[in-house]
Structures are given as C-alpha cells and as structure tokens.
Amino acid sequence: MNKFIKISLILIIVLNIFFSMWYVLHNDIFFHTDIARDFLLLDDLAKRKLVLIGPRSSGPSGFYHGPAWMYLNYPAFLIGNGNPITVGWFWILLNLIFLTSSFIVAKKLFNSKTALIFVALLSLFPSIPDPTKNWLNGYYNPFGAMFLIPFYFYCIITYGRKLHKKWLVLALLLNGFMFQFQVAFGGPLLILTSLFVIYKIVKKRLYSHLLAFLILLIPFSTYIIFDLRHNFSHVKAITNLFNDPYKDKIPFLEIVKQRLGMLNMTGMHFFREPHDVFGLVYAYAIAFGIFIAIKVKTIKEKLPYQLFLYIYIGYFILSCLHNGWLMYYYWMPIFPLVFLIFASLESFIPKIIYYTLLFVCLVSNMFISVNYAKQSANFIGKNQDSWKFESSVAETVFKDANGKEFGFFIYSPDIFAYSSKYPFIYQERLNPQTKMHIYERLPLTYLIIAPPPKDKPWMTGDWWKTNKIGIKQTPIKSWDFDNGYKIEKYLLTNKDLKSPMDQNLNDWIYFR
C-alpha cells in the first residue's frame, strides 16, 4: 500500500474515533427512547440481580430480545452508579475493542491492507450522524450483534475451509448471541447458517458435527427458562406471527420492492439518507469485484465472497417473511460484512476507481461529521434526546423538593416517556434522602410535560392533566424550557387527592 494512502487512512481512523467521543467529552449522549429504555432495564436488573429477557422486540407481539446487552453494560452501569456518561465511556471502549479485533479478523481472512481499509470504513459507524439519531454516541442492543458479525464470519469461513468442529461451535455460539442482541438479524442468520452447515455435513458425511448445535442451548437458555416459567409465551408469539389478522396489511410486492432497494442501495451503507442513492455505485463496484474474484481461476480464495453473497442476499430474501417494513435497526448488523468485502476487493477493481470510491466515501462523511460537531451546540443540553437536558429536568424537581417527599407524573406524546423517566431514577440514587413516588399524587406533586410534535400540535398535556391525573387547578410554580418542555408544581389538598384519576397510568416500562 502506498505510504501516503496508509497514513491518510490512519489519520481518518483517529479523527473518526475522536468524533465518536464528541458527545461523551461534553458530558452528553443521545438519550432517545430505546437507549433510555435500556437504562430502565439496567436499573431493573440492579434490583432483581437476574433477568431472563431484554427489551421488547418490535417484531412478533410478545417476543423479547435476550438480556445479553443488559449484562454486557451492567458492570459499567454499576461502576457509574447508574450514570449514563460512565456507560457512554464504556461504549467508547467497546468501539475501540471492536475496531482492534476487526483489524485482526480482516488480517487473518485477507491481509493487513484489507484490514486497514476495513477499519477505516468501520470507524465511520459511530461518528456519522444518522437521521433517526440512533447511533452517534448512543448504543443499544443491535450494536451487540454488529460487534460480533466479523468474528462470526471468520469462524464460519474457517469451518467451511477446514471442517473442524470447533469452528462450527464458535460460529453457532456467536450466532446465538447475535440472536440475543437482535432477534430480527440473528434469527434469519441462524436459518442461513444452519442450511449452509447441514449442506456441508451431509456432503462430507460429518454427521457428528450435528452435535455442535447443542451449543445453542447456552444463548437460548434464557428463553427456555423464561418460557417454562411463563406458559411458553415466546413460542406462542412466534405462532401468532403467522395468525396475525393484519398480515396482509402491506402488499407483498411493496415488501419486495423495499427489500430490493435495501439490497443494492441502503444496505450498502456507504452513505446515509438522502444520499444513499450513491450506494448504487458501490454496489456495482462490489458486484464487479466479486464476479472477478469468483470467476478468475487463478484466484483460489472464493469462499468469503460466496458466503457473503449467500448471507447478504439470503438475509433480505428471508426478511420478506416479515410482513412489515424492514426497520433500520433490524439489518444494521450486516454493514460490517459489506465493508469487509469492499475492503478486500482492492486487488480486483482498477486502483484509480477503487481508491476514488474509498476516499469519496471517507472524506465526504468526515466533512459531515465535522459539520455535525459544529452543530452539536444546538443539541447538547437542549434537545429532548439529550441526556444532559433530560437530567436537568429531573435535577430541577429534586432541587426544588429539597428533601421533601413528592409524587410526579410525566406526559409524553410517545406514551413511553422513557427519556424523562430514567433521570428521576438516577436522581433518586444521588439523593436517597428524598423520597419520590412514581405516578402517585401527594400533597407535593410535579407534572413534567413534553411538547407536542410539530406535525401534531394538538397533542398537548392539557387533556391528560385534567382527565388522567385529575388536576384542574393552576400550578403554584412552573418552569418553562426553550424546547417546549415544562415542569408544573402543585400543592394538593386532601380534597384534591380524593378526586378521581386514571389508575392505569403506572406502567413504568411498557409491555414489560
């Protein structure tokens, strides 16, 4: 590799790592619904010490991801006494481990040149802004599957090459934990893995290798124990998936159309929306490179490319069984495989074309990251998805209560209100002398009211306050925040406390 190119790639990696730390360095992380939910579950784990299920899956109703993501983050949660910034630093450490180990995997599969390019592309993941704000300095359960996919790919390729049982055991174990982290990815991948492995076993008559599937009992043990204790709820959830009365809601042709778009454009992930159309160019380049790698007889190593096509295309085909839109975080863990294969094609694509595509992707996304860092001042401590802001709301209430016992309610148009809930749990940890009552009216009561969405201005908290909470008087004090949030303080009389209210409000973690 040209020395200038090598130095440029290393510099880009270093800069991307720096941008991945940007928000944590400013004592903030993205604290959107899914991440805040995870912290509520971590708090639940700290109280129970043992849990068998993780966050609710958005796929089959009643199905849950495994608890692996919770246990992975649990030590950092305990060390920081529940402080999300401490966990944020742990995510930075995870990212560094991911990049380092991915370099080792790519070097073993291909060479050090491929490994360096691969890591340069991977380093973009946590530093490029996403329209849904789902990853910049904010990890949640699908990332666990993404971290494991390079290792899985190495193990399944090595098994295909050597047919040694230990590599099959490792591949299945990793696949099982990917299922724990993200059911929508780990499930289809397990089907694809099983079909490939059974084909190899039957072809080579290695029937004893079927025993390797017993290793799945380890990652699936939490599901087995949970279902035995809860009337086979996950089995029923899968069964109900095929009996869903809304299964024909989205026409099958529309589902296929969406999957095809992801297959050759969005799934490439070299650019984010609305620029993902440029991913087509990279898709064609990858297709050309793989064609050369597979067809040219002098190139002996073909299995990585064959398996990539099998997994990548096979995943999107199997995803059609899900009668709904394929959400971004369902298939996010597959991106590293795309980058790994592209990185390995440097020898098969004309150099001028290859390095032009590589640096257009890297440099353009770097400019986006720099610009995003400049704009972060409008987010940090101000946006409703900012931990720093949400924490300040709860801190304001505890400071005003000044050690007095209080009740509180939170209104959010998204119903869940996870982003506002967890900061109160954290403040209670920091202020054990102050007793708070979740969703209970007390003489001292606070209402935290989120603003309505811009496209739904009628979704204010007024009706909720009077009809759900039963509070109709004027607050004795209020705090208004620039982003539309407000806190209202009430001193309620015995008569006020006896007025009717909705008794079904105290669902702290929905569907849990």
DSSP three-state, residue 325: coil
Please report which helix (H) or strand (E) contains residue 409, including its range: strand 406-411
24: tokens are: 């944590």
Q: Which two tokens stand for residue 315?
A: 């995943």
Do 18 and 80 belong together in one domain? yes
**Last residue of one domain, picked from the residues 354, 376, 398:** 376
Are residues 87 and 111 in contact, defined by beta-carbon separation less than 8 angstroms? no
β 477-480/486-491 pair status: antiparallel
Q: Is residue 446 part of a domain?
A: yes
87-101 tens-digit pLDDT: 999 999 999 999 999
In a domain, 505, yes or no: no
Which residues have a Cβ under 8 Å from the Cβ of 58 and sit 6 or more positions away? 184, 327
Exposed/middle/buried for 411, CB within 10 Å: 0-12, 13-18, 19+?
Answer: buried
Total-model pTM? 0.91
Asked whether residue 117 is assigned to any structural domain, the reply reads: yes
pLDDT band at 505 (very low <50, low <70, confident <90, very high): confident
- Mark whether 363 and 402 lie in a shared domain: no
Beta carbons of 68 and 181 less than 8 angstroms apart = yes
Q: What's the pLDDT tens digit per position in 208-229? A: 999 999 999 999 999 999 999 8
Is residue 355's pLDDT more than 90? yes
Mean pLDDT, the chain, rounded, equals 89
Alpha-carbon gap, residue 294 to 369, rounded angstroms: 36
Q: What is the pLDDT of residues 175-187, one digit of tens each?
A: 999 999 999 999 9
Q: Would residue 54 be called left, alpha or beta, if left means φ above 0 and alpha means ψ between -120 and 50 degrees?
A: beta
Measure the CA–CA gap between 131 and 125, rounded to whole angstroms.
Answer: 13
What pLDDT, in 10s, does the model give residues 35-68?
A: 999 999 999 999 887 889 888 887 667 789 999 9
For residue 439, the enclosing domain spans 387-498
Q: pLDDT at residue 243 above 70?
A: no
Are 478 and 428 in the same domain?
yes
In the sheet with 444-449, reading across from the earlier edge strand, the strands are 436-438, 406-411, 444-449, 486-491, 477-480
Cβ-in-10-Å burial (0-12, 13-18, 19+) of 7 comes to exposed
Q: pLDDT (tens digit, 9 = 90+) per residue, 340-351?
A: 999 999 989 999
Number of domains composing the chain: 2
Please state the rounded mean pLDDT for residues 314-338. 86
The full DSSP string for 340-374 is: HHHHHGGGTS-HHHHHHHHHHHHHHHHHHHHHHHH
Least confident range from 68-77, 180-189, 259-268: namely 259-268
Rank 132-136, 238-242, 261-265, 483-487 by mean pLDDT and report only the highest: 483-487
| pLDDT confidence of residue 134 | 39
Instruction: Specify whether the CB–CB gap between 87 and 27 falls below 8 A.
Output: no
pLDDT > 70? residue 83: yes
In a domain, 54, yes or no: yes
Q: Given 328, 349, 376, which residue is the final one in a domain?
A: 376
Residue 143 lies in a domain: yes
Residue in this structure with the two tokens 């409000």, named with its chain if needed: 505
* Sequence-separated (6 or more) residues with CB below 8 Å from residue 461: 411, 447, 449, 450
Residues 366 and 437 in one domain: no
* 341 lies in the same domain as 397: no
Q: Residue 111 — φ and ψ, nearest 5°?
A: -160, 175
SS3 487: strand
Which of 45-49, 374-378, 446-450 is predicted most confidently?
446-450
- Give the SS3 label for residue 105: helix
Q: Residue type for 422, please?
A: Y
Q: What is the pLDDT of residue 121?
A: 94
Per-residue pLDDT, 344: 95
CA distances from 418 to 114, 276, 411 (A): 42, 31, 10
C-alpha span between 380 and 377 (Å, rounded): 6
Q: What's the average model confidence in pLDDT over 414-420? A: 87
DSSP 466: I
490 and 413 in a common domain: yes
- Cα–chain-centroid distance for residue 126? 11
Q: What value does the mean pLDDT take over residues 239-247? A: 62
Tell me: do 120 and 196 sit in the same domain: yes
Instruction: Give dist(CA 81, CA 43) in Å, integer.
Output: 10
* 75, 200: one domain: yes
**Are 290 and 401 found together in one domain?**
no
Same domain, 313 and 171: yes
Of 83-87, 293-297, 387-391, the poorest mean pLDDT is in 293-297
The pair of structure tokens assigned to 424 is: 């109160």
Q: Are residues 155 and 82 in the same domain?
A: yes
| Termini Cα distance of the chain | 53
| Residues 82 and 119 both lie in one domain | yes
- Read off the pLDDT of each residue in 462-487 and give the average, rounded to a whole number: 93
Provide the pLDDT for residue 131. 37
Q: Which residue has the higher pLDDT, 455 or 210?
A: 210
Note whether residue 51 is domain-resident.
yes
Residue 398 has a pLDDT of: 97
Instruction: Give the separation between CA 5 and CA 3, rounded to whole angstroms.
Output: 5
Of the candidates 297, 301, 325, the one whose C-alpha atom is nearest the C-alpha of residue 161 is 301
Mean pLDDT, rounded, for 314-339: 86
Bridge partners, residue 477, by sequence:
489
Domain closes at, from 355, 376, 397: 376
HEC-encoded secondary structure of 9-64: HHHHHHHHHHHHCHHHHCCCCECCHHHHHHHHHHHHHHHHCCCCCCCECCCCCCCE
Say what the pLDDT of residue 343 is. Answer: 96
- Report if residue 396 sits inside a domain: yes
Q: What is the pLDDT of residue 75?
A: 97
Please report the pLDDT score of residue 133 as a whole number: 42
Query: Longest C-alpha distance within the chain, in Å?
Result: 87
Q: Is the pLDDT of residue 132 over 90?
A: no
Q: What is the DSSP string of 234-300?
A: HHHHHHHHTT-TTTTSS-HHHHHHHHHHHHHTGGG-SS-TTGGGGHHHHHHHHHHHHHHHHH-TT--
Nearest CA-CA partner of 162 in 209, 115, 104, 195? 209
Structure tokens at 193: 């893995």
Q: Is residue 504 part of a domain?
A: no
Rg (CA), the chain: 25
CA distance 144 to 140: 8
